[in-house]
Structure 1
Amino acid sequence: MAKIVFGMAVPHSGMLGQAPEDWLTNGERDRNNPELWFRNRTWTYPELEAHRGAAFEPFLTIEERTERAARCRAALDKMADAYKRAKVDVCIVLGKDQKEIWPDQSPSITIYTGEDVHNGPPQRPVYAPDHHVVHKAYPELATYLIKAFQKEGFDLNDLQAWPENVWMEKQRGRKADYPVVPHAYSFVYHQIMGDEPPPHVPVLFNLFYPPTQPSMARCIEFGRVLREAIAAWPEDVRVAVIASGGLSHFVNDEEFDRDVMGKLAAYDYEGLAAIPDGYYQSGTSEVKIYSIVMMALQPTGAAMTLVDYVPCWRTAAGTGEGMGFMYWNPEEAPAAA
């Protein structure tokens, strides 16, 4: 029977591919964003700056940025090592489409049942190698999972072939000759799996765009069904469940992040579900799929290993991204951060 042996939650921020000298570039985008989500509501940048003051100005120096970038790189390397040690045969990769392949629709939950997954240029180097690669998915397991979820009252979208990644032309200036996978997945393949993912099932959640976002409670229930379905899968394989995204962004909230990480470590489902949905918006919405990893690993008794937590700022008002690097491995003791 299949056995879940590893779980991971990892950020996939573009900042992880930027030189520290360039971290403040997107601050201008933050200043022009009329809907910065923070603490259950939206703010304009002037409102946010008035509320938070210039409290984060000390963290914008090149010395601070360089130190934090180095910590993120070291954490990613440790995460890749942890994945390698787990010796998994199959992976469930949880992520989302950020209007990269679906600019005009937002299915709530989708499972990819096709054969191939494509990555490479013109995807940014932090997300892909410098050449076209094709990875094998796991259509048999994907179809099995859809049927298992249907039995538990989930109505899922079945993605049988990847659409064109329209973000490539819009943001990178040219089309690809193949359907480049969304960045939430390409980051995991490239940074964690060394461009050699095992047979795997990509699951896409609409985390960003109302009104079809699944709630935190729904994601927790998804984790339960996924766990039970994998346990019933007859193949003798070692399975990993990896969530790509989070923590708080595009307004950093260190207090919120540390509260969430504490709840994840304690398997505190009720606590996560009790947080108002207005906190799980914009990029911070990606925290919802962390709960799926937590639910999948709970029966193993695994303790969460927090490799590092690195708040990375872009403006004096505290916009940026909270980078949390954590994994669960029931076969080893938690590693020291």
Structure 2
Amino acid sequence: MSAITLGVGASHSTLMNTHWDKVVHTERAAAFRDSLQHVNRRLRELNPDVAVIIGSNHFRGFWLDLIPSFTMGVGDVIASGESGTPKGPQKTDPVFANQLATHLVEAGSEVAISARLQIDHGQSHAIQYLLDGIDIPVVPLVVNVFAQPLPTIERCATLGRRLADAIEANAEGRKVVVIASGGLSHQLPWPSDWSNPQDDDEEFMVDAWLNGRGEWERYDKRRREIIVAAQPCIFEDFDAQFLADLEAGDLEKYTELSTPELEKIAGNGGQELRTWLVMAAALGFAPGSSLCYSPMPEWLTGMGAALIEPAGGDA
């Protein structure tokens, strides 16, 4: 029987790679970086066999021509390599990944599969920092958090519970770490309704989302200019409460929120917290430990990191 040995939640931002020299809140940035290094050391101690990385995709592997609610990489996994993140093929375990996908589908969570999945920093940021020097296969699980309509938060929690069952059903005795990449609160300069862009920038973004398949790099320069020019919008009170609820083992209540309700209190980028809730559900919504919270307007995001030990573990 395989088992989850640790749950991890960590924010991501490519601006951490490209704009470190422009950071004003240096101590906050260093604290977040140090929290990622703490997780890396913890994972080295645990010596897991495989990492399931739950994250988003920022229109480098999925486009508006086809975006499933949930997609699991069950074959080749290719990282885009944008903004200094890992690039190229990643180590995988197709047999294990297919077993997870099959179990999830048979349990009623219809995950799409990809035998050649292109990931971006929605997963590769975790590979770069959390799995640095840890040579284990990754199983990406992509959650649609950007193209409306989004999967309900309750459905994401159900996916997490069934993911835990799927891991436990594997008879090979794997030690599995479940990593959630994304959040915390932030507001991205993206159209709220991709079918009705409001200005030139939004029209460009929709064009990139719809026509970027196979040539996302053609759009990347202007995309990045639009993002870097955005005004930061971080909901610090929400982030503090979310991490406090994680520590108390009380994240399940967030499954009652609708998509508009979550956006109102955490921004459109806060929809990425679905990944944390999938992870937390896989850990049985056990109490966890918050390692860091750094509101980083320079990176447009409330940056946080946390651990959840399996029930009976010691955080």
Interval of TM-score (by shorter of Structure 1 and Structure 2): 0.7 to 0.9
- The partner residue of 1:239 within 171, 176, 185 is 176
Which of 296, 307, 310 does residue 327 from structure 1 map onto?
Answer: 307
**Displacement of 1:261 after TM fit?**
1.7
Distance 1:162 1:273 in 2: 28
The separation in 2 between residues aligned to 1:20 and 1:234, in whole angstroms, is 44
1:223 deviation in Å? 0.8
Matched, 1:162 2:123: no
* Aligned equivalent of 2:250: 268
From 13, 19, 27, give the equivalent of 1:67: 27
Residues in 2 aligned to 1:217 and 1:197: alpha-carbon distance in whole angstroms: 33
The CA deviation string for residues 77-113 of structure 1, in whole angstroms up to 9 with x for no partner, is 1121122222111111101211112223321111111
- For 1:135-154, what aligned pairs fall within 5 Å after superposition? 135-154=90-109
8 Å Cα contact 1:95/1:243 also seen in 2: yes
* Equivalent residue letter for 1:310: S
Q: Secondary structure at the match of 1:81?
A: helix
Change (3 A) 1:252 1:224: same
CA–CA distance in 2 between the matches of 1:195 and 1:280?
Answer: 36
C-alpha distance in structure 1 between counterparts of 2:14 and 2:26, whole Å? 16
2:148 to 207, 210, 234: 210
**Which runs of 5 or more residues in structure 1 are unaligned?**
24-61, 164-180
Q: Distance in 2 between matches of 1:270 and 1:245?
A: 18
Determine whether 1:15 maps to 2:15: yes
* Cα distance between partner residues in 1 of 2:146 and 2:243: 21
Q: Do the aligned partners of 1:7 and 1:242 also contact (CA within 8 Å) in 2?
A: yes
Aligned to 1:56: none
The two structures have a TM-score, normalised by structure 1, of 0.72
Distance of 2:306 and 2:251 partners within structure 1: 17
CA separation of 1:141 and 1:245: change in aligned 2, threshold 3 A: same
What SS is found at the alignment partner of 1:160? strand
Q: 1:215-270 CA deviation, whole Å, 9 max, x = no partner?
A: 11011101111111111110111111000111001221111112222222233254
Question: Using the alignment, how far apart are the partners of 1:294 and 1:204 within structure 2?
Answer: 16
- Identity in percent: 27
Query: Which structure would you say has the larger Rg?
Result: 1
Q: Distance in 1 between matches of 2:59 and 2:186?
A: 17
Counterparts of residues 193-232 of structure 1 (less than 5 Å): 193-194=131-132, 196-211=134-149, 213-232=150-169
State the partner residue of 2:67: 106
- After superposition, residues 115-134 of structure 1 pair within 5 angstroms as 116-119=76-79, 121=81, 123-125=82-84, 127-128=85-86, 134=89
Alignment RMSD: 2.2
Pick closer, same or farther for the CA change 1:218–1:197 going to 2, 3 Å: farther
Give the partner amino acid of 2:238.
F
Q: Larger deviation: 79-88 or 234-243?
A: 79-88
Structure (1 or 2) with the greater helix fraction: 2
Q: 2:199 is matched with which residue?
A: none
Instruction: Kindly state the Cα deviation for residue 196 of structure 1 after the two structures are TM-superposed.
Output: 4.0
Q: 1:257 to 1:2 in 2, by over 3 A?
A: same
Residues in 1 aligned to 2:80 and 2:140: alpha-carbon distance in whole angstroms: 17
SS in 2 for 1:280: helix
1:92 aligns with 2:30: no
Q: Which runs of 5+ in 2 are unaligned?
A: 188-232
Q: Is the 8 A contact 1:312 1:322 kept in 2?
A: yes
